[in-house]
């Protein structure tokens, strides 16, 4: 089985260095472990200018579909956003049957929000620690 990892973290109003670099690194490392990444940046709407209601629907539904397909949701919590929080909540509460993706957050600060503590399964200090955890528990 090839495990799938959804890459969740702030995008809106951030510089590409803040939202793209960690995703590129995670994709490379996870790919070398035999895991597949689901990166919301492939639905990059930044080039479109102002989003229409159809764009918003396509973007949000695409992210939800990816989360539904994911075995793991890897969350960069260094600069969380509304979208990140909603992705965490969606992943933690919206599933059918017995399947629920494991939610692994990194760049978590202390004290931690009770909401983040309640809705994540694993919390790590760094991306490297989170990737190590995934590698140890999801041998691709």
**33-74 pLDDT, tens digit each:** 999 999 999 887 666 678 889 988 999 999 999 999 999 999
Indicate the domain borders of the chain: 4-137
Residue 55 is predicted with a pLDDT of: 87
The 10s digit of each residue's pLDDT in 79-120 is 778 999 999 999 999 876 567 889 999 888 878 889 989 999
Residue 79 is predicted with a pLDDT of: 78
Asked if 130 and 74 count as a contact pair (C-beta separation under 8 A), the reply is yes
Residue 94 is predicted with a pLDDT of: 85
Question: How many C-beta atoms surround the C-beta of residue 51 within 10 A?
Answer: 13
CA gap 99, 73 in Å, rounded:
13
pTM of the model: 0.91
According to CATH, the topology of domain 4-137 is Rossmann fold (3.40.50)
Residue 45 is predicted with a pLDDT of: 65
Question: How many C-beta atoms surround the C-beta of residue 22 within 10 A?
Answer: 18
Which tokens is 140 given?
């691709």
The 10s digit of each residue's pLDDT in 116-138 is 899 999 999 999 999 999 999 99
Q: Among residues 61, 71, 78, 16, which one has the least CA distance to residue 38?
A: 71
């Amino acid at each position: 089985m090839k495990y799938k990892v959804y890459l969740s973290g702030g995008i809106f109003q951030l510089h590409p260095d803040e939202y793209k670099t960690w995703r590129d690194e995670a994709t490379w490392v996870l790919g070398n472990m035999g895991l597949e990444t689901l990166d919301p940046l492939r639905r990059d709407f930044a080039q479109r200018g102002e989003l229409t209601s159809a764009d918003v629907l396509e973007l949000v539904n695409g992210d939800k579909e990816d989360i539904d397909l994911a075995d793991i949701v890897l969350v960069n919590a260094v600069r969380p956003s509304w979208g990140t929080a909603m992705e965490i909540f969606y992943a933690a509460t919206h599933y059918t049957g017995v399947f629920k993706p494991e939610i692994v957050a990194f760049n978590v600060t202390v004290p931690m929000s009770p909401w983040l503590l309640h809705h994540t399964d694993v919390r790590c200090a760094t991306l490297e620690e989170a990737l190590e955890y995934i590698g140890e528990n999801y041998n691709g």
